[in-house]
Structure 1
Amino acid sequence: MANTRIILADDHPFVLLGVRSALDAHVGVSVVGEAITPTLLIELLRSTPCDVLVTDLSMPEPSGAVEDGLSLVRRIRDEWPLLRIVVMTMLTNAAILRAVVSDGTVSALSKTESMDQLWQAIEASRSGGTYLGRSINKALAESWKEEQEPPPVARLSRLQAEVVKLFVSGQSISEIAAALGCHRRTVSRQKREAMVKLGVTNGPGLFSYVRAHGIPSFESHI
Structure 2
Amino acid sequence: MQNPIKVVVADDHPVILFGAEQALLKFPGIQVVARARQSTELVKILQTVACDVLVTDLAMPGGQYGDGLPLIGYLRRNFPDLPIVVLTMLENAALLKRLSELGVISVVNKADDLSHIGLAVQHVGRNLEYMSPSVKSALETLRMNAGGKNDEVILSKRELEVVRLFVSGMTIKEISEQLNRSIKTISTQKNTAMRKLGLERDSELFHYAQSNGLMNLSSYAPGEIREPGESGAAADES
State TM-score, norm by structure 2.
0.71
Q: Is the 8 A contact 1:106 1:130 kept in 2?
A: yes
**What's the CA shift string for 1:44-71, capped at 9, x where partnerless?**
1112111110011121226xx3121122
What amino acid maps onto 2:211 in structure 1?
G
1:34 maps to 2:25: no
Q: Which runs of 5+ in 1 are unaligned?
A: none
Cα distance change, pair 160–210 in 1 and its aligned pair in 2 (3 A): closer
Q: What CA distance in whole angstroms lies between the structure 1 residues aligned with 2:18 and 2:189? A: 33
What amino acid maps onto 1:211 in structure 2?
P
Q: What CA distance in whole angstroms lies between the structure 2 residues aligned with 1:190 and 1:36? A: 38
Moved more, 14-23 or 202-211: 202-211
Q: Helix, strand or coil for the counterpart of 1:100?
A: helix
What amino acid maps onto 1:119 in structure 2?
G
Q: What CA distance in whole angstroms lies between the structure 2 residues aligned with 1:149 and 1:45? A: 36
Shift of 1:115: 2.1
> Which residue is 1:73 aligned to?
72
Shift of 1:123: 0.8
> Which residue is 1:47 aligned to?
48
> Which residue is 2:123 aligned to?
124
Q: Is the 8 A contact 1:96 1:212 kept in 2?
A: no
Q: What CA distance in whole angstroms lies between the structure 1 residues aligned with 2:5 and 2:194? A: 39
1:90 maps to 2:96: no
1:221 maps to 2:220: no
Q: Helix, strand or coil for the counterpart of 1:86?
A: strand
The structure with the largest helix share of the pair is 1
Q: What CA distance in whole angstroms lies between the structure 1 residues aligned with 2:16 and 2:102? A: 27
Q: What CA distance in whole angstroms lies between the structure 2 residues aligned with 1:21 and 1:205? A: 25
Q: What CA distance in whole angstroms lies between the structure 1 residues aligned with 2:81 and 2:120? A: 16
> Which residue is 2:144 aligned to?
145
Q: Helix, strand or coil for the counterpart of 2:130?
A: coil
> Which residue is 2:228 aligned to?
211
Q: What CA distance in whole angstroms lies between the structure 1 residues aligned with 2:161 and 2:83? A: 38
Shift of 1:215: 8.4
Q: Is the 8 A contact 1:165 1:215 kept in 2?
A: no
Q: Helix, strand or coil for the counterpart of 1:211?
A: coil
Q: What CA distance in whole angstroms lies between the structure 1 residues aligned with 2:110 and 2:144? A: 24
Q: Is the 8 A contact 2:23 2:114 kept in 1?
A: yes
What amino acid maps onto 2:88 in structure 1?
T
Cα distance change, pair 18–126 in 1 and its aligned pair in 2 (3 A): same
Q: Is the 8 A contact 2:89 2:109 kept in 1?
A: yes
Q: Helix, strand or coil for the counterpart of 1:11?
A: coil
**What's the CA shift string for 1:133-181, capped at 9, x where partnerless?**
2222222222233335987667x9x97554125569xx77499576325
Cα distance change, pair 177–17 in 1 and its aligned pair in 2 (3 A): farther
Shift of 1:19: 0.9
Q: Helix, strand or coil for the counterpart of 2:77?
A: helix
Shift of 1:131: 0.8
Q: What CA distance in whole angstroms lies between the structure 2 residues aligned with 1:151 and 1:2? A: 41
Q: Is the 8 A contact 1:56 1:89 kept in 2?
A: yes
Q: Helix, strand or coil for the counterpart of 2:34?
A: strand
Q: Helix, strand or coil for the counterpart of 1:26?
A: coil
1:8 maps to 2:25: no
Q: Which 4+ runs in 1 deviate beyond 6 A?
A: 149-154, 189-192
